[in-house]
Amino acid sequence: ADYVITGQWAKKAAAEAERYGKVNIVASSADSTFDHIPTLDPSKFDPEADYFYITLNNTIYGTRWTELPDTGNVPLVGDMSSSILSQEIDITKFGLLYAGAQKNLGPAGVTVVIVREDLLGNAMDFTPTMLRYDIHAENNSLYNTPPTYGIYFMGLVFDWVKRQGGVAALQKINERKAAILYDFLDQSELFRGTVVKKDRSLMNAPFVLPTKELDEKFIKEAKEHGFENLKGHRTVGGMRASMYNAMPIEGVEKLVEFMKKFEMENK
Ligand X SMILES: Cc1ncc(COP(=O)(O)O)c(C=O)c1O
Residues that bind ligand X (CB under 6 A): 9, 55, 59, 79, 81-82, 100
Which letter, b or e, does each residue of 59-89 get, where b requires 16 or more Cβ atoms within 10 Å of its Cβ? Answer: bbbbbbbeeebebeebbbbbbbbbbbbbbeb
Is 9 known to be catalytic? yes
Q: How far is the CB of 244 from ligand X (least distance, A)?
A: 11
The residue among 107 and 263 lying less far from ligand X, judged by its C-beta, is: 107
**Cβ closer to ligand X: 15 or 169?**
15
Q: Is 195 within 8 Å of 57 (Cβ atoms)?
A: no
Q: How many Å apart are CA 4 and CA 262, to the nearest integer?
A: 38
Please tell me which residue in 2, 35, 65, 79 is annotated as part of the active site.
79
Q: What sign has the CA pseudo-torsion 65, 240, 149, 100? A: positive
Which member of 2, 103, 177, 199 is catalytic?
103
Nearest approach, Cβ of 243 to ligand X (angstroms)?
Answer: 14
Least distance between ligand X and beta carbon 165 (Å): 25
Do residues 244 and 266 touch, judged by C-beta distance below 8 A? no
Q: Which residues are catalytic?
A: 9, 79, 103
